């Protein structure tokens, strides 16, 4: 058992059930060109876990059977999966909306020069990591030179219509053990600063709470801050956020094709509440996920603290 999981499973988090399933979030693999401190996946350049085409086709069988409306691609860097283009084209041919959770710097990597044009031509929604509009803060969290590459990538996306005709959302993650600030006020700051200094425009800013699991959770434990951070999350818990947490309409699939209630439960190996045990997506084609129990643990307070947090940002706008 991962040390963070051992600290999370004994929970008093309220019971929740799924409403109607409309989004499938698929982890394309843990391979990434970056290794960020706040990463809850432990992704990086040396990871070998990659979703195979056979599994991808099983995912599409599920999408067809469940009438999924949105395919949310994550990683690692999902674009580093050799089947990334195949996945996007297959989804768009079905009329399924595609979200690419992009770290921006992948657009500047050798061999990925095609990527920005490909995303634009398929009208893929981009959710891009930019944890601050300050170069020092970004580089401290994500690595030296990341901010400069991110700005170059954003300018490239703007020339293709992203931020205006095409949806380009940025993601803010706090430094350390704070809950994110007010999303609307921070979005205004981001927009003013990025346009004034770089001429960059974007659609929305998503503020996402750092989850006390995997790499970030291990850092909290090693620095003696885990219990303090959990107290911050629990103290900031807002019951009103329970109605809007992302797991109520989303299902998560790992790189090997196994099903979880959310991306965070996936990283902890907690199976979907309805399934009771680890189950492959090929075994779930005929299941009805509506009104079924969702597996919870103490990390779920990260989604209900303050204004709430989801893969689509704050829950209270």
CATH assignment of the domain containing 132: 3.20.20.70
- pLDDT tens digits, one per residue of 60-98: 999 999 999 999 999 889 999 999 999 999 999 999 999
What residue numbers bound the domain in which 201 lies? 18-210+245-295
Name the pTM for this structure. Answer: 0.92
How many domains does the chain contain in total?
1
In a domain, 278, yes or no: yes
In a domain, 255, yes or no: yes
In a domain, 132, yes or no: yes
Q: What does the pLDDT read at residue 82?
A: 95
- pLDDT tens digits, one per residue of 4-38: 888 999 999 999 999 999 999 999 998 987 655 55
Provide, rounded to the nearest whole percent, the portion of the chain with pLDDT above 70.
Answer: 91
In a domain, 165, yes or no: yes
Name residue 260's beta-bridge partners.
Answer: 252
CB burial readout 31-60, b (16+ within 10 A) else e: bbbbebbbbbbbbbeebebbbeeebbebbb
In a domain, 3, yes or no: no
How much is the mean pLDDT over the chain? 90
In a domain, 32, yes or no: yes
In a domain, 70, yes or no: yes
- Tell me which residue has tokens 């293709």: 160
């Amino acid at each position: 058992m991962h040390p963070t999981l051992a600290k999370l499973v004994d929970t008093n988090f309220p019971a929740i059930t799924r409403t109607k399933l409309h989004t499938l979030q698929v982890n394309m693999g843990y391979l990434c060109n970056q290794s960020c401190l706040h990463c809850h996946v432990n992704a990086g350049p040396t990871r070998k876990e990659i979703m195979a085409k056979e599994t991808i086709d099983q995912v599409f069988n599920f999408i067809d059977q469940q009438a999924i409306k949105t395919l949310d691609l994550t990683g690692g860097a999902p674009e580093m999966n050799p089947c990334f283009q195949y996945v996007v084209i297959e989804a768009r041919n079905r009329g399924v909306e595609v979200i690419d959770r992009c770290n921006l710097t992948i657009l500047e990597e050798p061999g990925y020069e095609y990527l920005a044009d490909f995303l634009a031509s398929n009208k893929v929604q981009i959710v891009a990591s930019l944890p601050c509009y300050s170069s020092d803060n970004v580089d401290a969290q994500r690595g030296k030179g990341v901010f400069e590459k991110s700005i170059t990538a954003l300018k490239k996306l703007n020339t293709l219509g992203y931020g205006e005709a095409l949806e380009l959302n940025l993601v803010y993650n706090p430094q350390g053990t704070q809950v994110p600030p007010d999303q609307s006020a921070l979005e205004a700051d981001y927009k003013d600063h990025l346009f004034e200094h770089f001429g960059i425009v974007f659609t929305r800013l998503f503020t996402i709470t750092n989850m006390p699991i995997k790499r970030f959770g291990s850092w909290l434990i090693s620095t003696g801050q885990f219990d303090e951070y959990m107290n911050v999350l629990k103290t900031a818990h807002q019951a009103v956020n329970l109605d809007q947490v992302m797991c109520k309409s989303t299902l998560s699939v790992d790189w090997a094709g196994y099903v979880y209630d959310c991306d965070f439960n996936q990283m902890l190996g907690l199976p979907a509440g309805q399934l009771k045990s680890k189950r492959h997506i090929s075994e779930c084609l005929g299941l009805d996920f509506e009104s079924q129990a969702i597996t919870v643990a103490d990390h779920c307070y990260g989604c209900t603290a303050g204004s709430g947090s989801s893969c689509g940002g704050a829950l209270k706008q």
